[in-house]
Amino acid sequence: MYIPYDKLPRIGTEALTIPFVGAIIERLGDSGEKEIIVQTRSKESDPKFSGTLEIPGGKFRAGESIYQTVRREVLEESGLEITLVGGEDETLHTSSHDMSSDIFHPFCVTQSPEGPFVGFIFRCTATGTPASETNETKGCHWIKVSELKTVIETNPGRIYTPFLGALSLYIASEFK
């Protein structure tokens, strides 16, 4: 989603980049092949990308940890409940001077400088049944990783651009 420069969040006069998360939710399908959740983006505020395939994700709320954001966004957009966020068990918590800091390892980090967004993408597992439609998405469903590979190779424009690089990296890691 493009945000005009004058609409960006600011501290003083300095425009800021907006962080977001994405969840590559994996399972082993009935056929024995790995599948992930995808959904069709459906936002009136973002007509350029409405209709593209995306993974669940979204922006942080003030005070949320990165893992709380992943869980909330996945539940809101897909109806699924996260059972595992890859790397969460390796988080390093530090603190001093009445402040804390968490060191975490996402699957990858992606940047859309024209947006301007920086995304932290995690591999996850979840339980539940995918929601057919929410106020931001529709058609949430499991797709075989091999089918997603074909979509990315033959029609990359079908994928929501901020997630295209992360999904391409994921596909490459699955088909080494």
Of residues 41 and 24, the one with the higher pLDDT is: 24
DSSP reduced 3-state for 84: strand
Q: Report d(CA 72, CA 74) in Å as an integer.
A: 6
Average pLDDT of the segment spanning 82-106: 93
Which residues is 101 bridged to in the sheet? 94
Q: Which residues pair with 81 in a beta bridge?
A: 127
Q: Where are the domains of the chain?
A: 5-174
Rounded to the nearest 10 degrees, the angle between the axes of helix 161-174 and helix 145-154 is 120
**In whole angstroms, how large is the CA radius of gyration of the chain?**
17
Q: Which CATH superfamily is domain 5-174 in?
A: Nucleoside Triphosphate Pyrophosphohydrolase (3.90.79.10)
Tell me, yes or no, if the pTM score tops 0.75. yes
